[in-house]
Structure 1
Amino acid sequence: MLLIYSIIIILTFSLFSVLVLNKYEELRIRNEEIRLFQTANIVADIYRANQEDIILINTMVKSYGRQADARILILNSQKKVVVDSFNSYVNKVVDNEEIRNSLEGKSKSATYMLGGKKVLQLSVPISFDMEEGKGIEGVVLISASLDKMISDVRSLKNTLISVSAISLSVSLFLTIMAANRLTRPIRSLSNAVERLSSGNLGYQMNKQGSGEIGKLIESFNEMSGKLKMIENNRKHFISSISHELKTPLTAIRILIDSLSLGENRMETYKEFLEDIREETIRMSQLVDYLLKSIKLEDVSLDMKVEDMAEILEDVVKLIKPYAQKNDVLIYMERIDRLSIKCDKNKVKEALMNLFDNAVKYKDPYKEENNLVISMKKFTTEGVLTIEDNGIGIKEDDLYSIFDRGFRVLDSSINMISEVNGYGIGLSIVKNIIEKHGWKISVESTYGKGTKFIINIPL
């Protein structure tokens, strides 16, 4: 592509140079023609005023011929040469188109190739006044070689070609350098894309420049990092689900093996079968969470105007027995009425996840575990807070809690081994909240508790 552009530039510049030089040559010839016409008219006036003094006329013609660097002839009305600046055509008859036109009272000029040389020839009439008008008594004919002018134009052309060739060479070199500099980051980016597509997720490019290319590289690095994070989360999620599924399957296998050994009482069979039933329910819940995770991005909303206070009350009623069973007290502080357009069932699902986590991740070493809920209405938004005094979250983990597959217990907090978590609840919460156009944030101190804040625009 660069070669094509260079050829186009060279051809355009060459054509422009030829046109300019041709115009320049035409202008030089025209200026020479004007100069010689002025000389011819002066000679005609001198001859008309001094016809009797042939010596003066010869002297003046030779002088003007040297000044004009041309040959000057004066011819009478019979086309006979009266004066010749070179003295070789005196008394000879000369006939050409210029002389014939001037004898008819017209000035005439033309260029000819004589002996391989370009010659400009022109003539003007020598007129005198008559009663009927003007009479023609002779002609001034001037011939001048254009070789010097053509040589000057040719020299200028050669100089222009040389300068153009050097300029074009330098321009082409600089263009190649600039193009190489511009395309180098693009080639690097193309190579990085190939590495990324071949599975090298997380590959980072060195930043090159601060313009649009630099921004593009920054976007690529950000995308590559996110893809790496998504892949890590996917692997972690699969590992977590595999581990969670393995536990009930192992328990079921052990229970079945125990039942198959010897004779057991009916009560034992019923007890073991009840345990198997609980494990299958647990597996069903795991599969349900897995399906929800797969469809996380496909959440669709059935939006209607609802009272958020009523939604909160319904969810608290549902979670209260579970909280009481786990010795967690629920306090509903200031609850302002807030009418908002939302998907009631999806909002309940999100709140249930948050309340469930607050109960699930209680601190067993504290005398009292509680969950405090409040919702305040302001001018532009409503603020819902869900605060507990549970085990809390480490500062390093706060940035990851909404990631699919992340569990607090996976982050070395193994103090409550009996807590079951599938690592996608908060991902579902965040997805539902953001689908509504709301915002969710979290504040937590490890060992003290966690507070979720939901901002609801009015």
Structure 2
Amino acid sequence: MILTIRTKLFIAIFLACLLTVGGVAGVMQFNFKRSFLDYLNEQESRSLTQIETQLINLYAAKGSWDILDEEPRQWEKLLHTAVRSSLFPANGDEPDDAQPPFLPPPNTHELGGMPPPRHPLKHRMDRFTSRIVLLDSQRKLLKGNNRFGTPEDLHSLQLQGKTIGYLGLHRRQSLTEKVDVEFADRWQRIVWLVGLLALPITGILSFLVARHLGRPIQALRAGTQQLTSGNYALRMASSGRDELGQLTHDFNKLAERLQQNETSRKQWIADIAHELRTPLSVLRGEIEALQDGINQPDAQTFNSLHQEVSQLQHLVDDLYNLSMSDSGALSYHKRPLDVLALLRETLTLHSTQLHEQNLQVDTLGLGVQPVMIQGDPQRLQQLFTNLLENSLRYTDKPGQLRIVSSLQPQWLEIRFEDSPPDVPDTALPRLFERLYRVESSRNRATGGAGIGLSICHNIVTAHDGSISAHHAALGGLEIRVRLPLNT
């Protein structure tokens, strides 16, 4: 059985809420009786304060504890006052000789001769007084029961700076009064009842949250299936700024990139077919003319055939180099080299061709001082050759080419500026796309296939540099190359 992401989210959220509710209820159950017992002990400890004051006054009046033996009701009266103060703090100013409400007169006739039941407050008073202990200054028992031993917390009774005795209370170790036990049990039942009522609410909330979180995931899954089927025009509506919203944004970017790649692939195939069709058509026409006897197999015909084959071979080589560069399979053997010396060497190799094409070359900043970078000399020479051939192919004759180098703190910038024609603004960012040509001014009649600048871009990128196209001050195109220095 395969669980959907929505089901997994529901189970995870529900279990998390269930564990949280159960944990809170368990902790509250565990701590409540202890906290309630501490509360009762604290209330009883506060009752001892009034007994302390009255005991000190009683001792001061008689000068000893003998009065407790002479008048036993004094001890009961003190305890009664303390109990009433703890149970009925609002009536703490009630006269001490008032009849306590928890001491009803016995009425055996109404109960058929049976003794009356003990009042719960009387029962509490008995348990409370049974845990009170009064000791003299020598810690000998005066009042109370010593079966529990000496209380841990003894209150010193002081009269004029002299210790006259000690008053202590044995703390409760458990809930013994019926009313307290019933209250604790009732409160615990309420906690568990609230926990049980929280279960369906938790289930509903978990379902709603899981459905809310699962909806964009399901939508992305359906969109992915459409992408795999070739629907690259699909775009998903953003669901927010969280991770799911970012995932939707990334999905749209992926769909856009796939659509661009598909369009580029189709254009790439169409352009390659177009570029190969022209020289093949010329070759076929020349060969058919020879077969029909229209042309003679003389030197002019062979030169024409050779020119078309060379052009076709050059195009195939460019396509191969571009495909190798795009796939990262083009090998680079980098080493420290003087890039300006390599540029001067490339200009020397093309000096004859530049002169024949009536293209005047001006250089600035190409001195003899070496500028070292980490690069592949063969690929960098290919870069400079493609840039020179680009100017040779597309610049009107006679023309002008200016090569300027400038040294930056971490970069070397080389600019190739030529004379008209220029390219439109919209064409500048696309010049480095494969097989792209500006048909209005730089067309195939010049012999270019729109591949050289794409190879240049890949070579510069492989050297961690950048290349860009701008309008030249001479009226043509400026290609700006930046290469990192060897630091």
TM-score, length-scaled by structure 2: 0.65
Task: Quote the offset at 1:443 in angstroms.
Answer: 0.7
1:444 match: 471
1:248 match: 279
1:345 match: 378
2:431 match: 401
Greater share of strand: 1
- Give per-residue Cα distances to partners, 1:405-458, cap 9 Å, x unaligned: 32223xxx2675522323322121112112222222221279931011222343
Q: 1:346 to 1:48 in 2, by over 3 A?
A: same
Q: 1:249 to 1:37 in 2, by over 3 A?
A: same
Give the SS at the match of 1:268.
coil
Give the SS at the match of 1:456.
strand
Give the SS at the match of 1:405.
coil
Counterpart of 2:14, as a letter, is L
Give the SS at the match of 2:350.
helix
Aligned: 1:3 with 2:14: yes
Q: Identity across aligned pairs (percent)?
A: 20
2:32 match: 21
Do 2:48 and 2:82's aligned partners in 1 also have CA atoms closer than 8 Å?
A: no
Q: Distance in 2 between matches of 1:126 and 1:444?
A: 105
1:302 match: 333
Q: Distance in 1 between matches of 2:144 and 2:232?
A: 102
1:429 match: 456
Runs of 5+ unmatched residues, structure 2: 1-11, 55-65, 88-102, 109-117, 148-174
Task: Quote the offset at 1:227 in angstroms.
Answer: 3.2
Runs of 5+ unmatched residues, structure 1: 70-83, 90-113
Aligned pair partner of 1:276 in 294, 297, 305: 305
Counterpart of 1:200, as a letter, is N
Q: Distance in 2 between matches of 1:125 and 1:343?
A: 99
Q: Distance in 2 between matches of 1:385 and 1:138?
A: 107
Do 2:279 and 2:308's aligned partners in 1 also have CA atoms closer than 8 Å?
A: yes
Give the SS at the match of 2:429.
coil
Q: Distance in 2 between matches of 1:34 and 1:199?
A: 82
Aligned: 1:359 with 2:392: yes
Q: 1:382 to 1:48 in 2, by over 3 A?
A: same
Aligned: 1:222 with 2:233: no
Do 1:350 and 1:429's aligned partners in 2 also have CA atoms closer than 8 Å?
A: yes
Aligned residues: 399
Do 2:51 and 2:82's aligned partners in 1 also have CA atoms closer than 8 Å?
A: no
Task: Quote the offset at 1:395 in angstroms.
Answer: 0.8
2:23 match: 12
Report which stretch shifted further, 386-395 or 203-212.
203-212
1:384 match: 414
**RMSD of aligned alpha carbons:** 4.7
Task: Quote the offset at 1:2 in angstroms.
Answer: 1.5
Give the SS at the match of 1:15.
helix
1:372 match: 402
Aligned: 1:200 with 2:231: yes
Task: Quote the offset at 1:349 in angstroms.
Answer: 0.4
- Give per-residue Cα distances to partners, 1:313-364, cap 9 Å, x unaligned: 222233333334433333334423442222211111011111111111123x
Counterpart of 1:455, as a letter, is R
